Amino acid sequence: MTAKTHELRHVGSDFLTAASVHPRASRSMPCTPEALFSILVDARTWTRWTGATQAHYSTPGPHGVGSRRIVNIRNQSLEEEFIIWEPGRRLTFSVWASTLPVRAMVEDFTINPVSDSDCLLTWTTALEGKPRALSRSLGLIAYSEENRSLERLSRYATRHAAEYV
């Protein structure tokens, strides 16, 4: 059974640095920035490389800034709105409702080219726990999950990046 969803404080990309907790993980990806961005915005892939059990857009396409997505992770749910959508460069969303014990949350994916066939992905999760005392523990969990997910994403990109070119 999924816990009750509650609305979060609406925050923008400035929360990425303003939050007291903002774990960041990076990993080299074996694909072009454009292919990686396409993988990141394809909601169907999230069950392949994150801990998500379901992910889908709740707004019609074409998708971009203002689009909303729902991601279920085991018995938790996040309802997200994209606030930055820069193909091949950056993808940022604010979580506007969730079952997680958080007051505010923003996730950011920044892509930097490394070579003609590789790029560096940096994933930052900024959050404020509910209560605030939970923030540090939630940050450690987020950092661990980011690293596991980036490892799976690298393997997924190795096998499927050509499908996104």
12 assigned to some structural domain: no
CB atoms within 10 A of CB 35: 21
Q: Are strands 90-98 and 68-73 parallel, antiparallel or unpaired?
A: unpaired
> 7-18, pLDDT tens digit by residue?
999 999 999 999
CATH number at residue 95: 3.30.530.20
10 assigned to some structural domain: no
The structural domain count of the chain equals 1
155 assigned to some structural domain: yes
> CA 17 to CA 135: how far, in whole Å?
15
> 32-59, pLDDT tens digit by residue?
999 999 999 999 999 999 989 999 999 9
> 80-98, pLDDT tens digit by residue?
999 999 999 999 999 999 9
Give the pLDDT score at 74.
Answer: 85
Is the pLDDT at 2 greater than 60? The verdict is no
115 assigned to some structural domain: yes
119 assigned to some structural domain: yes
7 assigned to some structural domain: no
Characterise 51 by phi-psi region: left (phi > 0), alpha (psi -120 to 50), beta (else).
Answer: alpha
Residues 6+ apart with CB under 8 A from 102: 8, 95, 127, 128, 129, 130, 138
Q: Which domain holds residue 142?
A: 17-164
Is the pLDDT at 1 greater than 50? The verdict is no
> 114-162, pLDDT tens digit by residue?
999 999 999 999 999 987 778 889 999 899 999 999 999 999 999 999 9
